[in-house]
Amino acid sequence: MPKLVSQVSGSPIGSIDFQANDRPSNFIPYQIDLKTGKVSARSNSLISLINPPIDSNRDSWLEVAVKIKFDSKIEKVKFIIEYDKTPSGWTVNLGDSQSNNGYGGDASTQSRDAEMQIVNQNMTVFGNDYNTPAGGELTQGKVLNFARKNSRVELEVSNEKLAWDNKNGLKNTLKSPYLYALKKQSDATGALNSEIYAGFNRVIYGPGNRIGSGASKVTILLNPIDYAINASSATITEGISGKTGVTFTVTRSGCTELASTIDYTIAGTATNASDYNNIGGTSGATGATGTINFAAGETSKTITLDILGDVAIEPNETINVRLSNPSGLDATPTTIAAVAAITVINDDSAGISIDPAGFIAPAAVKKGNFTVQQKSELNDDFFGDWSNPNLVEGKGAIAVFYLLISVSILLLILKSIKTFWYWVIR
């Protein structure tokens, strides 16, 4: 593994590790240790250091500025910032302009110069110069006590959009035409813009006193993986017998050229084996819990199971499949839809059915039959009496039979279907 070591202004930046035998990829996590100065990454043509990590104020937390280039394949970038102490001063600064320097300002390099910052513990977002007032604060992006000691915050930037999550309940997404212009939108004072600049423990570009401490490590991910799960149907009728298949589809997007995994759990009010069985699918699932493995290039996996029909009277039941613990490329990818649910509709009702309810007997027929079928399982037995009090003699005579049902408390077993016969008297 080759290693690049450099020295700047008497303060070492540490080493940059490149994987010599692996295929270079722009999507491998790019990590900067702001305590040691070590930069771990493979060769990356889309991420570059504006300045190497340096401790300009000798406070033991290094400052660094980075440039991320959005090409046709890059849709978003995620920054994961770890803090080992209560943040003080400027610890994060993300902007459109290479001269962003805090509070929505820059050196007139770009008119599309949206900016966000974490100063002390608070996050603030400023719109670009097309905003009113120019570079004005977007109040929806003001979050107090966002960064804390021993915390990990995530910031995701895409065209005209910023999402944040401090993993402690402060999570939101802001969409605005005043935010980052990453689709080469026209600019009144600078070149077409498709880049993001980031400063950690400092602003992107001077003044030199706008630095900070507390951010100990930053990880940069291009096109981080998103997972989602969907059910083939929101509801399904149970049926009185047999099996009905259902499918849950797990998809991933973003950096799908690399392998990754995510766990699943099947739960709900329905019970495995008695209400459904035969768990399978292209995910390799065989039980109620497990791990789904995505190979490089794969974007979709399925979890299948069979709903078992019965005649039991019971409430509607649910089957939920939940995704959790994504791993592989990113320790905390975004799960867009973490749960998919199917409601199994009970179609059983109490009582019995009689077929036919009446019988028209041609002259040549002297004997007929009718079938009594349970609509559901009965906890008690029932006894049926039938009679033909109103028989009419003659051609086409109608024989009408009544089934008189009474419920017994005896716990004997009666088959669900009984066939009775009768004579037609002429």
pLDDT above 90 covers a percentage of the chain that reads 47
> Is residue 216 located within the same domain as residue 230?
no
Given 295, 316, 345, which residue is the final one in a domain?
A: 345
Cα 329 to Cα 331: distance, rounded to the nearest angstrom: 7
Q: pLDDT tens across 190-238, in order?
A: 887 789 999 999 999 987 899 999 999 999 988 888 899 999 999 999 8
- Same domain for 163 and 33: yes
Do 117 and 181 share a domain, yes or no?
A: yes
Task: Compute the average pLDDT of residues 23-43.
Answer: 79
pLDDT at position 358 is 58
Residues 185 and 268 in one domain: no
Same-domain status, 287 and 312: yes
Confidence of residue 369 (pLDDT cuts 50, 70, 90): low
Cα–Cα dist 90/113, whole Å: 18
Average pLDDT in the 384-397 region? 42
| Lowest mean pLDDT, pick from 11-25, 203-217, 234-248, 342-356 | 11-25
pLDDT in tens, 159-175: 999 999 998 999 999 99
11 and 152: one domain? yes
325/72: higher pLDDT? 325
Pair (195, 241) in one structural domain: no
pTM above 0.75, yes or no: no
Q: Cα separation of 265 and 284, whole Å?
A: 13
User: Does the pLDDT of residue 263 top 70, yes or no?
Assistant: yes
Compute the distance between CA of residue 18 and CA of residue 39 in angstroms, rounded to an integer: 9
Number of domain units in the chain? 3
- Domain end position, chosen among 281, 314, 345: 345
- Residue with more model confidence, 377 or 154: 154
CATH code of 284's domain: 2.60.40.2030
**Same-domain status, 46 and 193:** yes
Boundary-marking domain end, from 173, 192, 222 = 222
Do 417 and 307 reside in the same domain of the chain?
A: no
Helices (H) and strands (E) in the chain, counts: 0, 31
Query: What's the confidence (pLDDT) of residue 356?
Result: 67
For 97-109, what is each residue's pLDDT tens digit? 999 999 988 878 8
**What mean pLDDT value characterizes the chain?**
79
- Domain of 29: which CATH number? 2.60.120
| Domain shared by 281 and 296, yes or no | yes
What b/e string do you get for 101-131 counting C-beta neighbours within 10 Å, with b at 16 or more? bbebbbeebbbbbbbbbbbbbebbbbbbbbb
Residues 333 and 377 in one domain: no
Range of the domain at 101: 3-222
Taking CA atoms, 135 is separated from 94, 95, 100, in Å, by: 14, 12, 11
Cα-Cα end-to-end distance for the chain: 102
397: CB partners within 8 A, 6+ apart: 361, 391, 424, 426
Tokens representing 7 are: 């020295």
Whether 243 and 377 map to the same domain: the answer is: no
Indicate the DSSP class of residue 140. Answer: G
